[in-house]
Chains A and B, each alone.
Chain A
């Protein structure tokens, strides 16, 4: 299982949307995928993946927050994963599948109560190491029981505890997104340097970092080269600005569609080696009703 964390120093760069499209694309190519929403303070991957389309908000009760409440201090018998994950409908011709572990039933009030409880229980600085063991256990359990080819983690923006663990400890690959302004680029630089400096655990490979300039305007053609130099990265992937329809479906043939396809080929070189654009077309979610 390869773990890919999607990170951005600032919000609003299209991080969760990129993850959702990547998850669907991989599943369409025949890969087993688990998408994990670690953006606990503003979770939305269940919306992006259309995992719950009830007009009244999420109807599920499980997710990473309730699961971790039950396991943060260790559990002789951990609760089953199944009630905390949701199967997402994807084309199955190639044998792929996609499961989402949402953060929880946000934005319903009980979710925020649960998040507060988790804050008391999951303490990463706990000298016993229980906090870290709980997160490593969740990752290992997903690998052992669900056996996906990919675990895609939506990491929290900014400099946060969970974002730090997702990118420096759990990830094999980090996708670091930024937009064309100084604060976004400076933040990305600091975090990328920190990720590079972070020691790896035993048996972990050196981390791979991909930088993605998102919402790029036509005026930003100069930026990738200078951003690459600032970030110390060989290549910057560029996602052009595109007024996506409210359904957030990629329009085949658009600049954004082509950029996504190029990025996915670079991000998942083995899984996407023989991928064609029609796979990305097939991976688009079904049209859904909007408010």
Chain B
């Protein structure tokens, strides 16, 4: 898929996500589309270019908006491992994840003194996969 097509798809998916949200309809699937298209753009565009940097940040941010924390973390890890990526991009991508963690910690201030949002996400993931007492594993 060429870059113009991907850009058009990203724009369309963002518009749909925002419209769904405004109508009170769960927009997670549209944000997932945004994240996937941005990821494809990131693959096509080098991290040294502004467009490539925007795509990388957009892929991570949209994954979080879709509620896909594991995907956001995985994308972040990939972009951090890119030896050609400028430091400010790596910092920026990491900051997106940290901001999401800060937001959760601020809403659960007592739990956050003892546990990280990442611990809770790991529990949720295990619970989702294996059910109560992990008996469905």
Residues of A participating in the B interface, judged by any CB pair closer than 8 Å? 71, 73-76, 78, 124-134, 136-137, 139-141, 143-144, 159-161, 163-164, 167-169, 190-191, 194-195, 197-198, 201-203
| Shortest distance from the beta carbon of B78 to any chain A beta carbon, whole Å | 19
- B108 pairs with A133, CB closer than 8 A: yes
Q: Which of B67, B111, B128, B131 contacts A136 (CB 8 A)?
A: B111
- For B111, the chain A residues whose CB sits under 8 A away are 133-134, 136-137, 139-140
Q: How far is the CA of A190 from the CA of B68 in the complex (A)?
A: 32
- B107 pairs with A132, CB closer than 8 A: no
- For A137, the chain B residues whose CB sits under 8 A away are 108-112
- A161 pairs with B135, CB closer than 8 A: no
Q: How far is the CA of A184 from the CA of B51 in the complex (A)?
A: 62
| Shortest distance from the beta carbon of A191 to any chain B beta carbon, whole Å | 6
Q: How far is the CA of A160 from the CA of B132 in the complex (A)?
A: 6
- B133 pairs with A129, CB closer than 8 A: no
| Shortest distance from the beta carbon of B109 to any chain A beta carbon, whole Å | 8
For residue A74, which residue of chain B has the nearest CB? B107
For the complex, is B99 an interface residue (Cβ under 8 Å from A)? no
A-B contact pairs, 21 of them (CB 8 A): A74-B108, A126-B124, A127-B69, A128-B104, A129-B69, A129-B120, A129-B123, A129-B124, A130-B107, A133-B111, A133-B115, A136-B111, A136-B114, A137-B108, A137-B112, A141-B110, A159-B131, A159-B135, A164-B127, A194-B134, A197-B134
Given A76-B106, A140-B114, A133:B120 Cβ within 8 A: yes
- A202 pairs with B119, CB closer than 8 A: yes
